[in-house]
């Protein structure tokens, strides 16, 4: 079970954790009509700060817009609300979960008559894909969402039914994560992570057109790679690139930068974290842990003792 905190932000005020409840007949329960975010608040020596808060809130606003869900708050107000709840709960490091959904109103499929509710919760949280020895992953038999079915640029709750299928299949077969292909058979992403490969010193990642979420860690790693002078290519990638690449890694708020040790039991390189992954990994962790300067202004300080 998740560790609780004291407060949850709801439509503009802080309410007790146990009072943040919805009715079973709420639209979202039946039709998956939610959009949400996952954000990390890191602890640095004598400080705490939230990673790329405005970018996460902008993506929430985008997700809501795609689903015609009017949000009564803008990016600045949502960012301020996140800071409020994190400071009120006084827990860092933590994971922050803002969510907007269609609440209790009508029960027809049409969501437009159900009220939009916004909640922001946070709780203490550690590593997701476990271990620094690398992840053993598989290619899933499930495809990612086809582009003309469920829009993957929206971080919508319903998209995670697909992620759940990928993740369960992987776990039941003894892998820590699954990689979905898009409906054309090209590499897409993990159930909750973007995918990067390295071959011949070039960094490859799957483009947004291949049914991926526009990951904020992905965009951060692309920025770091350019700054480190690494050649970056965003293009459709065939599955077998996973088997012949020198390095592979996942990025995500939860996964951070996690290298892949094997894919479908085929070793990636020699199974250890390769030099380009390591350079990006060290830059990323240096910035979020405060041992390197926050040169891209990615951290929003919060007052958590
Ligand atoms: N893809 C999917 C499907 C995800 O759920 C996530 C996690 N939000 C990511 C990629 C990584 O995105 P981010 O770096 O913004 O967490």
Q: What is the mean pLDDT of each run of 10 residues along the chain (305 residues)?
A: 92 97 98 98 94 98 98 98 98 96 97 98 72 89 97 98 98 98 98 98 98 98 98 98 98 96 98 98 96 97 93
Q: Is 277 in the pocket of ligand 1 (CB under 6 A)?
A: no
Instruction: Determine whether the shortest distance from the Cβ of 38 to ligand 1 is under 6 A.
Output: yes
Q: What is the ipTM of this complex?
A: 0.99
0.90 exceeded by pTM: yes
Question: Which atom of ligand 1 is nearest to 212's Cα?
Answer: 1
Spatial separation of the C-alpha atoms in residues 274 and 278, rounded to whole Å: 6
In ligand 1, the atom with minimum distance to the C-alpha of 254 is 16
- Residue 298: its pLDDT value, please? 98
Separation of 278 CA from ligand 1 center, angstroms?
A: 20
Q: Is the CB of 89 under 6 A from ligand 1?
A: no
Burial of 161 (0-12, 13-18, 19+ CB in 10 A): exposed
- Out of 125, 213, 216, give the residue to mutate to test ligand 1, the one with the largest number of ligand atoms within 8 Å of its CB: 213
Of the candidates 71, 131, 56, 128, which has an alpha carbon nearest to the alpha carbon of residue 102?
Answer: 71
Domains of the chain, start order: 7-123 (3.30.470.10), 135-288 (3.20.10.10)
Ligand 1 atom with the smallest distance to the CA of 216 is 15
Strands (E), the chain: 7-10, 13-16, 34-36, 39-44, 47-51, 94-102, 116-123, 135-143, 177-181, 187-190, 194-199, 202-205, 232-234, 247-252, 256-263, 266-267, 299-302
* pLDDT number for residue 82: 98
Pocket test for ligand 1, best of 196, 217, 258, 284 (most atoms within 8 A of CB): 217
SS (H, E, C) 144-158: CCCCCCCCCCCCECC
Confirm or reject: Cβ of 57 under 6 Å from ligand 1: no
Q: Can you give the pLDDT at residue 129?
A: 46
Active site residue 155: yes
pLDDT 10s digits, 128-152:
444 578 999 999 999 999 999 999 9
Mutate to test the pocket of ligand 1, among 52, 179, 193 (most ligand atoms within 8 A of CB): 193
Q: Is 144 in the pocket of ligand 1 (CB under 6 A)?
A: no
The whole-angstrom separation of Cα 41 and Cα 249 is: 22
Beta bridge partners of 16: 7
- Looking at the DSSP assignment, which residues form a beta bridge with residue 101? 34, 117
Query: Which atom of ligand 1 lies nearest, measured to the CA of 253?
Result: 16
- The model's pLDDT over 216-264, given as tens digits with 9 standing for 90+, comes to 999 999 999 999 999 999 999 999 999 999 999 999 999 999 999 999 9
- Which tokens sit at 204? 């490859």
Give burial (CB, 10 Å; 0-12/13-18/19+) of 286.
Answer: middle
Given 19, 65, 113, 155, which residue is catalytic?
155
d(CA 219, CA 55): 10
- Main-chain dihedrals φ then ψ at residue 287, nearest 5 degrees: -70, -50
Q: Is the CB of 216 under 6 A from ligand 1?
A: yes
**If you measure from the C-alpha of residue 37 to the centroid of ligand 1, how many angstroms do you get, rounded to a whole number?**
9
Ligand 1 centroid, distance to 252 Cα (angstroms): 5
Q: Is the dihedral of CA 190, 59, 85, 104 positive or negative?
A: negative
CA distance 157 to 97: 12
- CA torsion through residues 40, 11, 113, 27, sign: positive
The whole-number pLDDT of residue 305 equals 76
CA of 186 to the centre of ligand 1 (A): 18
């Amino acid at each position: 079970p998740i560790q609780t905190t004291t407060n949850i932000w709801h439509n503009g005020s802080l309410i007790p954790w146990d009072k943040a409840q919805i009715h079973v007949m709420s639209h979202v329960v039946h039709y998956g009509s939610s959009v949400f975010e996952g954000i990390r608040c890191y602890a640095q020596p004598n400080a705490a700060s939230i990673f790329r808060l405005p970018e996460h809130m902008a993506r929430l606003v985008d997700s809501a817009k795609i689903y015609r869900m009017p949000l009564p708050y803008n990016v600045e107000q949502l960012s301020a609300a996140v800071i409020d709840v994190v400071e009120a709960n006084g827990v860092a490091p933590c994971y922050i979960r803002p969510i907007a959904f269609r609440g209790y109103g009508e029960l027809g499929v049409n969501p437009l008559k159900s009220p939009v509710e916004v909640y922001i919760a946070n709780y203490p949280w550690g590593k997701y894909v476990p271990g620094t020895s690398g992840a053993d992953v598989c290619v899933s038999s499930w495809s990612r969402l086809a582009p003309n079915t469920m829009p993957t640029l929206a971080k919508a709750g319903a998209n995670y039914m697909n992620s759940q299928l990928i993740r369960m299949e992987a776990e039941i077969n003894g892998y820590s994560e699954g990689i979905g292909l898009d409906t054309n058979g090209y590499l897409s992403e993990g159930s909750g992570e973007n995918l990067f490969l390295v071959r011949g010193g070039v960094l490859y990642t799957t483009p947004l057109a291949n049914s991926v979420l526009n990951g904020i860690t992905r965009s951060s790693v692309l920025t770091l790679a350019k700054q480190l002078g690494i050649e970056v290519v965003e293009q459709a990638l065939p599955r077998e690139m996973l088997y012949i690449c020198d390095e592979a890694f996942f990025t995500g708020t939860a996964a951070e930068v996690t290298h892949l040790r094997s894919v479908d039991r085929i070793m990636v390189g020699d199974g250890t974290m390769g030099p380009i992954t390591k350079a990006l990994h060290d830059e990323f962790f240096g910035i979020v842990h405060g041992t390197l300067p926050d040169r891209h202004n990615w951290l929003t300080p919060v007052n958590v003792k």
